[in-house]
């Protein structure tokens, strides 16, 4: 069986358990192999990468902008954090020194909200926490306490700024 993403990456499944993160608005496609065997193929470069258990590969989908195969960035295969990469399966939202840009994307997807950050310095922050059944308000309260932020919720729009601003 093959799983093909809209970003031009195909995962060839060879009897396995794996996690695939391939949102159209992400700059990378991330494949994590838990057990078994997979081959990941990039359409643009035609490269194939065999991934071993407990490994992940991050493929830069902006490779489509490269003029030739030699201009393309080769993906990195590294040891995977299985717990962090598959926590969503158990209903866990896990951040481990996660850049705020990624935190915001995940919160928007998880809770179906639009987050607006009014101070770009906040985007330099990193965040560590694990949530299971918490509401978006509870998550924002935790962020408020730990990162000195304040927030306002208006329907499905969330506005975040530095406390004291």
Helix H or strand E segment including 130: strand 126-131
The predicted model gives 43-70 an average pLDDT of 75
Same domain, 103 and 147: yes
In a domain, 72, yes or no: yes
In a domain, 50, yes or no: yes
CA dist., res. 7 & res. 58, Å (int): 13
Least Cα distance to 44 among 61, 24, 21, 28 occurs for: 61
Q: What is the domain range of residue 47?
A: 2-80
CA dist., res. 102 & res. 98, Å (int): 7
In a domain, 86, yes or no: no
Predicted pLDDT at 99: 93
In a domain, 74, yes or no: yes
Q: What is the pLDDT of residues 15-42, one digit of tens each?
A: 668 778 878 877 888 888 888 888 888 7
Same domain, 38 and 63: yes
Describe the strand order of the beta sheet including 157-162 as a list of residue ranges: 114-117, 157-162, 149-154
Predicted pLDDT at 64: 53
Same domain, 156 and 104: yes
CATH number of the CATH domain containing 63: 2.60.120.1440
The residue among 15, 50, 80 that closes a domain is 80
The total of structural domains in the chain comes to: 2
CATH number of the CATH domain containing 115: 3.55.50.30
In a domain, 28, yes or no: yes
Same domain, 57 and 17: yes
Same domain, 7 and 58: yes
CA dist., res. 77 & res. 57, Å (int): 4
Same domain, 139 and 97: yes
Same domain, 49 and 114: no
Q: Where are the alpha helices (DSSP H) in 90-135?
A: 100-111
Least Cα distance to 5 among 39, 30, 38 occurs for: 30
Predicted pLDDT at 115: 97
Provide the mean pLDDT of the chain. Answer: 85
Q: What is the pLDDT confidence band of residue 151, given thresholds at 50, 70 and 90?
A: very high
Predicted pLDDT at 42: 79
Q: What is the pLDDT of residues 70-115, one digit of tens each?
A: 556 678 889 988 888 888 888 899 999 999 999 999 999 999 999 9
Q: What is the pLDDT confidence band of residue 165, given thresholds at 50, 70 and 90?
A: low
């Amino acid at each position: 069986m093959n799983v093909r993403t809209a970003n031009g990456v195909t995962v060839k499944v060879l009897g396995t358990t794996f996690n695939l993160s391939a949102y159209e608005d992400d700059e990378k496609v991330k494949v994590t192999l838990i057990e078994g065997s997979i081959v990941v193929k990039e359409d643009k470069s035609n490269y194939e990468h065999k991934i071993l258990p407990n490994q992940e590969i991050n493929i830069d989908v902006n490779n489509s902008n490269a003029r030739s195969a030699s201009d393309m960035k080769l993906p990195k295969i590294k040891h995977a954090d299985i717990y962090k990469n598959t926590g969503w399966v158990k209903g866990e939202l896990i951040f481990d020194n996660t850049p705020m840009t990624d935190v915001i994307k995940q919160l928007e997807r998880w809770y179906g909200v639009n987050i607006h950050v009014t101070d770009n310095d906040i985007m330099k922050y990193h965040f560590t926490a694990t949530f299971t059944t918490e509401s978006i308000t509870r998550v924002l309260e935790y962020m408020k306490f730990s990162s000195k932020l304040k927030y306002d919720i208006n329907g499905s729009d969330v506005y975040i700024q530095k406390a004291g601003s």
